[in-house]
């Protein structure tokens, strides 16, 4: 079975039962096919990423305010695999079409307050993939590393929900090459980018009414090309339902001062963003109030900086919700037990989302987990960054092909296979290069600086 929704104090190992692989018994699978099949099984069995509701007893694809409607197609990860059954259109077939999401789920009982804190992240199956193989968006407006995260308070008969999303900068861009941090490159004309950009935000606005973009990309250096292009396309769109906020995380939080994210939170409060956005609140009688906007947070990877900022945004709203429920006094803060579990949940969430996209746990996770940034965390981030570099160079092509096959993106599979051949040529050139040693030294220096 895949992960079932259980409280976080249940330590279970998710599994997928399947036939054992034995290629010595006359199997006619090619070496390439074996690699793909083994990797697909590994994605399901080792990633701790897939969830479903047993016997279709709930809709895990939809957030609280959308429960009872159609399944959310973005997060129906096994839809392509079930396409033949779905196309039958039979009521009897529905029992065989249990939707699975990729993402993260944790349910933490807070005994001190007699409630449960729930965190659900749902990764989009559109433009799914690994970090350097999937950047930006496609012509349909779907962007890479798109994740909707829902924080829920379950208290007596009340379900109080808050949604945030993250996603790659919605333009045509990539980061090709074998360097540790290759420079981003923009593709296609301004008009072509604007067309796909508008499709992306038309979809987001239809789902969330209003979008507050929080852009954490560096405004100087390598990332500036992405920052400038994003800003220009937002201005060109000129939609009053799209609010654009830039916050150069590395500039404001230089020297490991991640607590300076509070400057962003204070600015959003001053502009009444939190008040106007609200949140969803449901009881036995139905919907009491509904969230009227969503934060769309991004950095370059939509991982580490994004995790820190989303955690701060979620905490701000959580305190507001607890006060409204009468659980916390008007001047109060998060109770100790809840504060501890909140930090751990969001750190776990960041690690899993990072593993799905980059292959490793998140950077800066010690700050999310404990509220402090220390030298040990910095050193750990250096090792994690080195591991990310290795995975992106030598493992991501196979993983990307498997994800494309799972999601039915056959054309993309051929594209990745071609890029695999290109990478092999680049590896040979790299091995023969006299600059290899200098390059490796520079990589290590950059690892430490980047953290």
Tell me the pLDDT tens digit for each residue of 184-231.
999 999 999 999 999 999 999 999 999 999 999 999 999 999 999 999
Q: Determine the average pLDDT of the residues in 288-298.
A: 98
Closest to 80 measured CA to CA, from 63, 61, 99 = 99
CA–CA gap between residue 179 and residue 185 (Å, rounded): 14
Cα 68 to Cα 57, 120, 180, 193, 224: the distances in Å are 12, 17, 46, 36, 43
CB 308 within 8 A of CB 258: yes
What is the reported pLDDT for 424?
44
Q: Which of 46-55, 62-71, 173-182, 197-206 has the highest mean pLDDT?
A: 197-206
What is the reported pLDDT for 279?
98
Summarised one tens digit per residue, pLDDT across range 333-363 is 999 999 999 999 999 999 999 888 877 766 6
What is the reported pLDDT for 340?
93
Q: What tokens appear for 224 in the block?
A: 């500036």
Task: Check pLDDT > 50 for residue 21.
Answer: no
CA–CA gap between residue 344 and residue 45 (Å, rounded): 23
Please give the share of the chain, as a percent, with pLDDT higher than 90.
56
Domain edges within the chain: 31-450
Q: How is 239-256 classified by DSSP, letter by letter?
A: -TTEEEEE--HHHHTTTT
Q: What tokens appear for 200 in the block?
A: 């992306």
181-194: burial string, b at 16+ Cβ within 10 Å, e else: beebebeeeeeebb
- Strand residues in 175-315 grouped as ranges (E): 185-186, 211-215, 242-246, 280-283, 286-289, 294-298
Q: Determine the average pLDDT of the residues in 88-101.
A: 85
Contacts made by residues 380-388, CB under 8 angstroms, sequence distance 24+: 381/451, 382/447, 382/448, 382/451, 384/360, 385/180, 385/447, 385/450, 385/451, 386/443, 386/444, 386/447, 387/359, 387/360, 388/131, 388/358, 388/359, 388/360
Tell me, rounded to whole angstroms, the distance of Cα 47 from its chain centroid: 14
What is the reported pLDDT for 44?
81
Determine if residue 277 is left, alpha or beta; phi over 0 gives left, psi from -120 to 50 gives alpha, anything else beta. alpha
What is the reported pLDDT for 245?
98
Closest to 208 measured CA to CA, from 121, 279, 266, 272 = 279
Task: Check pLDDT > 60 for residue 119.
Answer: yes
CB 144 within 8 A of CB 136: yes
Mean pLDDT of the chain: 83
CA–CA gap between residue 223 and residue 233 (Å, rounded): 16
Longest dimension (CA), the chain: 72
Q: Determine the average pLDDT of the residues in 100-126.
A: 95
Per DSSP, helices labelled H in 114-187 are none
Tell me, rounded to whole angstroms, the distance of Cα 75 from its chain centroid: 12
What is the reported pLDDT for 216?
98
Q: What is the β-pairing status of strands 158-166 and 147-155?
A: antiparallel
The count of residues in the chain is 451
Within 8 A by CB and 6+ apart from 135, the residues are 144, 168, 173, 174, 175, 184
Cα 177 to Cα 106, 313, 430: the distances in Å are 37, 35, 11
């Amino acid at each position: 079975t895949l992960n079932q929704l259980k409280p976080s104090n249940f330590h279970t190992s998710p599994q997928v039962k399947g036939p054992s692989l034995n290629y010595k018994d006359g199997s006619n699978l090619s070496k390439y096919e074996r690699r793909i099949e083994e990797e697909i099984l590994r994605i399901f069995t080792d990633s701790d990423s897939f969830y479903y509701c047993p016997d279709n007893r709930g809709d895990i694809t939809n957030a609280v305010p959308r429960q009872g409607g159609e399944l959310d197609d973005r997060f129906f990860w096994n839809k392509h695999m079930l396409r033949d059954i779905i196309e039958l259109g039979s009521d009897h077939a529905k029992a065989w079409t249990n939707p699975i999401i990729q993402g993260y789920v944790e349910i933490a009982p807070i005994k001190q307050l007699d409630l449960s804190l729930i965190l659900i992240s749902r990764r989009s199956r559109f433009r799914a993939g690994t970090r350097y193989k999937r950047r930006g968006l496609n012509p349909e407006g779907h962007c890479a590393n798109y994740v909707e995260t829902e924080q829920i308070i379950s208290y007596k008969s009340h379900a109080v929900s808050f949604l945030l999303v993250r996603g790659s900068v919605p333009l045509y861009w990539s980061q090709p090459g074998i360097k540790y941090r290759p420079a981003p490159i923009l593709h296609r004309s301004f008009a072509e980018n604007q067309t796909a950009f508008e499709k992306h935000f038309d979809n987001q606005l239809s789902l969330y009414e209003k979008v507050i973009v929080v852009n954490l990309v560096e405004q100087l250096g390598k990332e500036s090309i992405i920052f400038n292009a994003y800003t220009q396309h937002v201005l060109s769109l000129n939609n009053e339902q799209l609010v654009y906020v830039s916050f150069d995380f590395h500039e404001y939080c230089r020297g490991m001062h991640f607590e300076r994210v509070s400057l962003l939170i204070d600015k959003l409060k001053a502009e009444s963003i939190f008040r106007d956005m609200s949140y969803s609140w449901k009881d036995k009688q139905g919907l009491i109030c509904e969230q009227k906007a969503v934060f769309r947070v991004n950095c370059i990877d939509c991982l580490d900086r994004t995790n820190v900022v989303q955690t701060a945004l979620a905490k701000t709203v959580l305190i507001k919700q607890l006060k409204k429920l009468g659980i916390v006094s008007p001047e109060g803060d998060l109770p100790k037990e809840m504060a501890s579990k909140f930090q751990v949940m969001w750190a776990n969430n960041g690690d899993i989302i990072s593993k799905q996209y980059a292959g490793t746990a998140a950077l800066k996770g010690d700050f999310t987990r404990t509220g402090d940034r220390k030298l040990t965390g910095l050193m750990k981030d250096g090792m994690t960054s080195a591991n990310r570099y290795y995975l992106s160079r030598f493992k991501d092509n196979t993983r990307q092909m498997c994800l494309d096959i799972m999601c039915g993106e056959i054309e993309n599979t051929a594209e990745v296979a071609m890029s695999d051949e290109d990478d092999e040529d680049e590896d040979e050139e790299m091995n023969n290069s006299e600059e290899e040693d200098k390059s490796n030294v520079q990589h290590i220096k950059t690892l430490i600086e980047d953290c």
